[in-house]
Chains A and B, each alone.
Chain A
Amino acid sequence: MFACLHAPATDLAKIAEAFTPWFEQTAPGTIVFEIDGLRQLYGSPQQIADAIARQAGAGVQIAIAETAESAILAAHNFRGVQVRPRLDKLDISSLPLPEEFAEILESWGIYTLEQFAELPETGLAERFGEQGVYLQRLARGAIDRPLRVFEPPPIYSDRIGLDHPVELLEPLLFLIARILQDQCRKLESHGMATNRIGITLELDDKTEHRRTLDLPVAMRESKTLLKLLQMDLEAHPPQSAIVALSVDLKPVPPRTVQHGIFLPATPAPDRLELTLARIRGIVGEDNAGVPELIDTHHPHPFRLVAKQPEIAARPAPVTSRQAFRYFRPPIAASVDLHNDRPARIRASGVQGHILNASGPWRTSGNWWTASQWNRDEWDITVSEALYRIYREPDGRWFVEGTYD
């Protein structure tokens, strides 16, 4: 048997939880659950209904019936507490009828569920199709279906309050590991992963230290997440002892990858992220990533984007082109001119007569911003080596790099 609770603006879930953890939230104001297991505790269906009514208080319509659909129908159409109510005298409009069905049934003189239930099933199927048969079975109370159990959206966060403030990272990591293990197990059981992990440390000086890691790929290995958090906390330590901590994971669907049988193995994204975090810990966050070209005439039309390398859709053809190497910072030089062309250069590591020179190639741009550039470039040969040099508007010369 099933009990249905119906009330527009009441927390029915809390009432149902007092009797069973397994209940169906059919609609925002309707909850239905099985009561067979409550008989030993409360007795007859009437006694169970009274217990539910005491728990729910006034204003909640309660119905107990043989099937879930009958209980729902009764709870929606009868006030107070009803045990095994007779549904056959209910008006036909109590069924979820489409408008055209209602009009046809009215023209036939069908006004109650009893009349509707007595119509021949074959004829109803011919006239109304599958939906008509379903509605008739509903009117007869013949639909017996399992409950679609309500599960609250899972929360992947946890908090630990500490008896004594923690100052060292190692004991803190021990606590974080415990939370991460639980949360990752929960993620795995729900078939989820995370791509954002946040940690909030409540400090002894009544402030909070928050860190959020955005992961390039969804993952749920607690060891990897712990290592990433460790490296982040080592790079950004809190300023005071920690009295409480909370870890929050953002759930996302796990990564699905189709590998090619003839494609080479590439670094595992979670392991690569860990390696990148280690590398960024050594060289800084802005010095490891993927180079990206920028559509500009700037002398350095590229930038480094802090992300993981990924397979390009279509590889470019391999061609043998002369490569260039930058000297960073550019080497200051002293250049002698002959007929306005460089004739001799003196710079650290680059000096001698200039055998060939091509230029000047004047470039300028962004004069309206602070990042403006304006210079004359030359390609030169100095004793079998090729360099690119340039002159600033103020007359200073620099060696920018070498063709290598």
Chain B
Amino acid sequence: MNPTAAFSAILGFRPEARIHETLPSGLAALDELSGGFPRGAISEILGPDSSGRTTMIHSLLASATSKFEICAYVDTDDSFDPVTAAASGVALSQLLWVRCGHNAGHALRIADALLHAGGFGVIVLDLCRISPRVANRIPISYWYRFRRAVENTPAILALLEKQPLARSCASLMLDMRCRKAIWKGAAGFELLRGVELEAASRKPVRQAAVKLLAQMAG
């Protein structure tokens, strides 16, 4: 037995026992790229403001709620907008929304409680607006704990953030970017019609970016 296999055996880690079930994000191009979001794993969605992270997560939540799953949104900075979420198809009655009042510590504790409660299809941990100083102070043991809690369950723990936090604990890492905003109308009377987004998979393997289109709600 090679050292890696022996070490895995000691830890009780059995790669062949893992279930490779995925949940489609609802965005066809992205599902072709990544095969959907892996269940029983942590997924990270990275990007700056307007990169489409939230659009992506709304789409994932809509996909999960359309399959009659109960989901949770741990909202660190009270930034969730139910109006655009509902426009994306999220069944709001199936979504547990927790506002953490700008406290990342609370958000982490709540995500932990939800993971251990069980029964959720998707748990979103929104850490987009926490400062780099706070992000760097999150103990790495949290991510290991989360990975351990979510594995062997059908849940998806999706992290929304500006920079990678879970790193090696994440099974999927998507880089989001805004290609261009679509404005239409005569000069001076333009209307924002949508945004062209770009999603690139950084993990499990680095892949070429795909183009996505998000139209304005309403």
Contact = CB atoms under 8 A, between A and B. Distances in A.
Interface of A: 263-268, 271-272, 274-276, 278-279, 282-284, 287-293, 301-302, 304, 308-312, 315-328, 341, 356-358, 379, 381, 384-387, 401-404
Given A322-B216, A358-B191, A283 B93 contact: no
A379 B121 CA distance: 34
Contacts of B128: 325, 404
Nearest to A288: B98
Nearest to B118: A267
Contacts of B195: 322, 386, 403
Interface in B80-117: 80-101, 103, 106, 109-110, 113-114, 117
Contacts of B85: 291, 323
B98 A320 contact: no
A68 B82 CA distance: 67
Interface string B58-90: 110011011111110000011111111111111
Contacts of A301: 83
A312 B79 CA distance: 24
Contact of B178 (A274, A287, A309, A384): A384
B87 A321 contact: yes
Contacts of A327: 77, 79, 129
Interface string B173-194: 0000010010100001011101
Q: What size tier do the contact residues of chain B reach?
A: 35 or more
B55 interface: yes
A316 B89 contact: yes
B82 A302 contact: yes
B211 to A, nearest CB: 12
B36 interface: no
29 contacts: A266-B119, A267-B117, A275-B113, A279-B110, A279-B113, A282-B109, A288-B96, A290-B96, A293-B83, A302-B82, A309-B70, A312-B94, A315-B65, A318-B26, A318-B59, A318-B63, A321-B84, A321-B88, A321-B214, A322-B194, A323-B52, A324-B81, A325-B79, A327-B79, A341-B188, A385-B50, A386-B192, A402-B49, A403-B192
B48 interface: yes
B130 interface: no
Nearest to B28: A320
B51 A404 contact: yes
A59 B186 CA distance: 100
A288 B95 CA distance: 11
Contacts, number: 220
A283 B93 CA distance: 20
A290 B94 CA distance: 8
Interface in B9-56: 26-27, 48-55
Contacts of A357: 190
Contact of B88 (A268, A320, A358): A320
Nearest to B190: A358
Contacts of B154: 264-265
A251 B213 CA distance: 54
B137 to A, nearest CB: 19
A23 to B, nearest CB: 49
B136 interface: no
B212 interface: yes
Most chain B CB within a 10 A radius of its CB, from A272, A304, A325, A341: A325
Given A284-B101, A404-B54, 9 more contacts: A271-B118, A279-B113, A282-B109, A283-B98, A288-B98, A290-B95, A315-B65, A320-B215, A325-B54
Contact of A291 (B48, B51, B80): B80
Nearest to A264: B69
Contacts of A325: 49, 54, 79-81, 128
A317 B44 CA distance: 25
B78 A326 contact: yes
B29 to A, nearest CB: 10
B120 interface: yes
A321 B97 contact: no
Interface string B138-175: 00000000000000001000000000000000000000
A386 B63 contact: no
B117 A271 contact: yes
B102 to A, nearest CB: 8
Contacts of A401: 79, 81
A293 B214 contact: no
B217 interface: yes
